[in-house]
């Protein structure tokens, strides 16, 4: 549809965003998001993301020509910050996906071998924005439909009494609960720190045939999905059981059954759909690592980001493990940096360019 101008439709952009984040929301939620406080954190975090996106949407023209607004070298510094965030996220995704595969799908295979296969597979996938847009447009309804159906089946395990048990187990003062909500809100916003790169994606979106409200709709949809995940986990496991499991959604799905008792391994079906989403997210990391460097006229290729992400996702740096360090790094380093970039772009957006 947009073969001549290398752009995608608003629907394709919306489904790319949704597909890239759904798997992480299902399997890799921060540990501070649990219980009813976690749901409040998600709702509050979604509101903050709405405000952030409102200002980002007014800066798209800056990201179309970053060197003209920022200047040559400042634009390259911004690109390097974005590149570092993408590589870190790529390493985290590789670590998480290979952990899931080694524990649930292909046990006994070294994780570095799984990581190598994963990177090669993702690199062999769609390499241009149009192919990625078409894939997301087709894959999102299928992936969301599978996960939605499985959530419906898992809901039959819910015990509403467990949702109220939190009041008896956690006799928190108001200020303690508020602190927990604030911590969870920060973690949720950090999980979506990638929205700071949204203007780069919108620069590739067709001017007509859509509207920018779809961006808010997508973020709101992800908030609803996340809240449903948390409420189901709370209703099935209770507050303490929910907080103590590494992959509570997979344990929840292990107990889901179809009428008649056949097709028992619902957890593997859920995992397969979620891993597809995570692989698409990894492909997005590699794609935008190249695209952002192209915008500032630096040597651009997906290969360096793929290799560095592979190293981060598999190597042991003296006990340093990206799975545990990713959250703090994004929350306290990259989230402030990316937010600062957005603030500066906001001041520069009115700059007159000849």
pLDDT confidence of residue 209: 47
Least confident interval from 73-82, 160-169, 181-190, 243-252:
160-169
Question: What would the mean pLDDT of 134-162 be, rounded to a whole number?
Answer: 87
**Residue length, the chain?**
354
In the chain, what is the straight-line distance between the N-terminal and C-terminal CA atoms, in Å?
A: 32
**Joined tokens for residue 284:** 């997005």
Q: How confident is the model at residue 4 (pLDDT cuts 50, 70, 90)?
A: very low
According to the model, what pLDDT value does residue 282 have? 96
Report the alpha-carbon distance of residue 353 to residue 10 in Å, rounded. 27
**pLDDT tens, residue by residue, 217-237:** 999 999 999 999 998 888 888
Integer Cα distance of 225 and 237 in angstroms: 18
The half-sphere exposure of 155 on its side-chain side, counting CA atoms within 13 A, is: 9
DSSP 8-state secondary structure symbol assigned to residue 207: S
Note the Cα 58 to chain centre separation in Å.
23
Predicted local distance difference test score (pLDDT) of residue 243: 61
3: confidence class by pLDDT, cuts 50, 70, 90: very low
Instruction: Kindly report the average pLDDT of the chain as a whole number.
Output: 86
- pLDDT confidence bin for 171, thresholds 50/70/90: low
pLDDT tens readout for residues 109-147: 999 999 999 999 999 876 788 888 899 999 999 999 999
Model confidence at 1, in pLDDT bands (50, 70, 90)? very low
- Measured CA distances, 253 to 100, 105, 276, 325 (Å): 15, 15, 17, 28
Residues 6 or more apart whose Cβ sits within 8 Å of residue 81: 334, 337, 338, 341
What average pLDDT score do residues 61-72 get? 88
User: Given pLDDT bands bounded at 50, 70 and 90, which one contains residue 350?
Assistant: confident
In percent, how much of the chain has pLDDT > 70?
A: 87
pLDDT over 90 at 31, yes or no: no
All structural domains of the chain, each given as residue ranges with its CATH number in brackets, are 14-348 (1.20.1740.10)
The yes-or-no verdict on residue 260 having pLDDT over 80 is no
pLDDT digits 0-9 by tens, 185-198: 999 999 999 999 98
pTM for this prediction: 0.91
153 and 9 Cβ atoms separated by less than 8 Å: no
Predicted confidence band of residue 353 (pLDDT cuts 50, 70, 90): low
Which residues does 351 contact at the CB level (< 8 Å), separation at least 6? 69
Q: What is the pLDDT of residue 301?
A: 87
Between 194 and 166, whose confidence is greater?
194
């Amino acid at each position: 549809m947009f073969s001549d101008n290398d752009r995608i439709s608003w629907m394709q952009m919306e489904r790319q965003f949704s597909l890239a984040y759904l798997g992480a929301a299902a399997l890799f939620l921060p540990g501070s998001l649990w219980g009813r406080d976690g749901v409040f954190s998600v709702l509050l975090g979604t509101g903050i993301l709405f405000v952030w996106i409102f200002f980002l949407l007014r800066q798209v023209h800056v990201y179309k020509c970053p060197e003209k607004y920022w200047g040559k070298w400042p634009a390259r510094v911004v690109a390097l910050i974005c590149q570092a965030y993408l590589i870190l996220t790529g390493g985290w995704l590789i670590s998480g996906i290979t952990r899931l595969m080694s524990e649930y799908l292909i046990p006994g295979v070294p994780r570095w071998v799984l990581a190598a296969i994963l990177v090669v597979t993702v690199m062999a996938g769609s390499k241009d924005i149009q192919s990625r847009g078409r894939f997301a447009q087709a894959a999102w309804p299928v992936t969301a439909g599978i996960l939605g159906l499985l959530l419906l089946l898992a809901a039959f395990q819910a015990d509403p009494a467990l949702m109220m048990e939190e009041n008896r187990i956690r006799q928190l003062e108001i200020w303690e609960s508020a602190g927990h909500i604030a911590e969870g809100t920060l973690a949720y916003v950090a999980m979506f720190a990638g929205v700071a790169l949204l203007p780069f994606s919108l620069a590739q979106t067709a001017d007509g045939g859509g509207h920018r409200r779809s961006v808010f709709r997508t973020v709101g949809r992800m908030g609803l999905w996340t809240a449903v995940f948390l409420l189901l986990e709370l209703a099935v496991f209770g507050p303490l059981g929910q907080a103590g499991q590494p992959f509570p959604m997979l344990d929840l799905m292990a107990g889901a059954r179809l009428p008649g008792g056949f097709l028992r391994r619902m957890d593997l079906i859920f995992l397969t759909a979620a891993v597809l989403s995570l692989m698409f997210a990894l492909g997005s990391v590699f794609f935008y690592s190249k695209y952002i460097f192209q915008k500032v006229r630096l040597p651009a290729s997906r290969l360096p980001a793929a290799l560095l992400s592979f190293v981060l996702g598999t190597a042991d740096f003296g006990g340093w493990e990206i799975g545990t360090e990713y959250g703090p790094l994004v929350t306290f380093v990259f989230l402030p940096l990316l937010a600062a970039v957005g603030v500066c772009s906001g001041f520069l957006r009115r700059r007159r360019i000849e």
